[in-house]
Structure formats: structure tokens, C-alpha cells
Amino acid sequence: MDAPIPAAWQPVTPQGVAAFAHAPWRRLLLVQLIVALLVGIATAWFIQLSYYPTITSAIEQLPVKGEIRAGKLTWNSAQPTVLAAGRFLALTVDLDHAGQKRTVADVQFEFGRTNVFIHSLLGYAVVNYPRDWVFASNRNEIEPLWGAWRPPILVLTVLGVTAALMASWYLLATLYAGPIWLLGFYLNRDLDWRRSWRFCGATLLPGAILMLFAISFYTLGVMDLVQLSFVYASHLVLGWVYLLVALFFVRRVGETSAPKNPFKPSN
């Protein structure tokens, strides 16, 4: 009696990923949604634990009066100031960007007279203040706004990350499906375009799960920013590895039993 094809529920092993090729598309959508939500929740958890305390402390150090108008910051002192600094985030004011208040934070926002410098271990970026907008830079106005927006920001983070991942997986699966269908044809795998699309969508999930653990470890201080960046690059390559390896676990044309492990020697 032929053994049934494994149910497609766990996108971790090559065989588990291959099972999604012949699973209903709703199964893949559900598993993708669960993984995307978990990554979104982990990202929001990181922001709440690692960024929120620093931002709150920085707001408490703001002057009573201040604003950004016509692309220029009005500040009560010309001396460089560290508003708040932690391991992950630092917020400083240095009107002339003299570099006197560097911190060891992974990311530092340095507010100058006409722009903000964003420093990190990966490099830096310069963002000019919009000349047509007016921003408050004082405690009296920002503190109540921050109190009101703290919860919505976390919710929007979860929803935004989830939507971005689902959209990227859809586009990448569409991009990969044609070449994988062609390769599966030459390898005599039971794939049409729709099965190839589901298979490609499933191969992207192991990398997302890897990033889920990486974000959690970074939040807990087990990993630093350089290691997190290395894992991020690795998770992109991991998807390609699963595309090639898991393809050998897709059943052959005319095969109804569970696919055998091609790397296991026969007796």
C-alpha cells in the first residue's frame, strides 16, 4: 500500500517544504500568514523593548520651547547634547555635526541645524529637514503625542511587516515559479505552474523563520548588529538553497507515495 504524501504544515525540512507543492493554496497562505505575523510581532517586541525606553528618556530631556521650521532646528544651546543613549539606540543633538557626542549604540540619530545624521556600524545616512513642514522639538508638544502613538506604532509595525512579507513572498514566488517548473520538468517532478508557485512560496519560509530567531536573539542581546546583518544576508541565500534541495523531495511524475530521500543510500 502506498504511503500518503506528508501533510504540508512545517516549512522547515526540505521534505516539509516540498509537501506544499501538492497542498491546497489556502494551506500555504495560512502558514505564510502565521510566519509573517510572528516576524511582525518579534519586530514590534524589539522596538518596544529596545527603542521605546530611549525615545521616552530623550523626550524628557527636550527643552520647553523648540521647533524645526523652514528646514532649520531651533535649539536652546549650541553645545552638543546626548538626549538619551542605550545599547541599540542613541539620540543626540549636535548643531554643527562636530562629532563630539559619539556613542556605542548600534544606531545613533544626530540632529543638526539643517539635517539629521544616522550613524550605525553599517554606515551612515544624511536626511535633510523638509523646508515646507513644521515639527515640534519641545517636550510640551511631543510628550503627549508620543504617549498617544506608542500603542498604534506597535500595531502598525506588526501589520506593516506582515503585509510586506506576504507581498514579497507573492512576488518572489511568481518570479521563481517559471524556472523551477522548467527545472522540475527535466528532473521528472510532478509540477505544473501552480504547484511550482506554491513550492517556491514555501521555500521562502525557512529564511523568515531564521530571521524570526535572529531578531529575538538580537533583542535579548545574544547577537550584535553585525551578526544580525550576516544572518539577514544568509536568510536570502537560504531560500535559494531550499529551492534547489527541496526540489528533489517533490514527488516524481506518476508517483503517489511519499518521496524518498535522494541522499539516503538504498539497501
Place of cell 508517483: 255
Per-residue model confidence as pLDDT tens digits over 6-27: 566 888 899 999 999 999 999 9
Domain residue ranges in the chain? 14-47+151-249, 63-137
Task: With H, G, I as helix, E, B as strand and everything else as coil, classify residue 82.
Answer: strand
- pLDDT (tens digit per residue) in 226-267: 999 999 999 999 999 999 999 999 988 876 554 555 555 544
Q: Which residue has the cell 516549512?
A: 11
C-alpha of 160 from chain center = 10
d(CA 191, CA 46): 40
d(CA 80, CA 203): 49
If residue 169 lies in a helix (H) or strand (E), which one and from where to where?
Answer: helix 139-186
Q: What pLDDT is recorded for position 262?
A: 55
43, 157 Cβ separation under 8 angstroms: yes
- Report which DSSP code applies to 252: B
Binning the chain into helix, strand and coil, the percentages to the nearest 5 are 55, 15, 30
What whole-number distance in Å separates Cα of residue 23 and Cα of residue 169?
Answer: 17
- Please state the separation of Cα 62 from the chain's center in Å: 31
Element (H, E) at 115: strand 115-120
SS3 for 55?
A: helix
Nearest to 239 by CA among 35, 43, 47: 35
Retrieve residue 187's grid coordinates.
Answer: 528532473
Tell me the percentage of the chain whose pLDDT exceeds 90: 73
* pLDDT, tens digit, 9 for 90 and up, residues 179-215: 999 999 999 999 999 999 999 999 999 999 999 999 9
Which residues, 6 or more positions from 230, have their beta carbon under 8 angstroms from its beta carbon? Answer: none
